[in-house]
Amino acid sequence: MRAMAIHPAYAQVSALLVAVFILIAGNGLSNTLVPLSATAQSFPPLSIGLIGSAYFGGMLIGCLAAPRIIARAGHIRAFSAFVAVSTVAALMHPMFVDPAAWCAIRNPAPNQPSGPTRRFTATVLSRREIRFSPQLSPG
């Protein structure tokens, strides 16, 4: 039995797809665990709601700021910077156990997945040499 070869276009984008999958899975896990941690820390319900709202405020800022950051630094450096800020922000939650601090941590624009998602789209669209064909195997 002959193994089916991977189309070159899929091979070029597979590492990027895996990175975006990990990023989105981590973001979903963080969005679930932050309110649960806030409840465990006995934050008032209003504070927990404001922490969640700060996330979406940061998402709006990220959608507005990400194109300029990507244009200035390039999509590879921008993706690395966005992911680094997201990682640091996630690690800062246990260091500063305060509702106001958590609102500030959840709000920065690069902390939002809108930046890396824009980077992913820019990368896929900028690769003009990638041509998807209806064939499943090359040749």
Task: Report phi then psi at 62, rounded to 5.
Answer: -65, -40
pTM above 0.85, yes or no: no
For the chain, which residues make up each domain, given as ranges?
8-126
Per-residue pLDDT tens digits for 20-30: 788 788 888 88
What distance, in Å, lies between the first and last C-alpha atoms of the chain?
18
Helix (H, G, I), strand (E, B) or coil at 112: coil
Per-residue pLDDT tens digits for 84-97: 888 888 888 889 99
Average pLDDT, the chain: 76
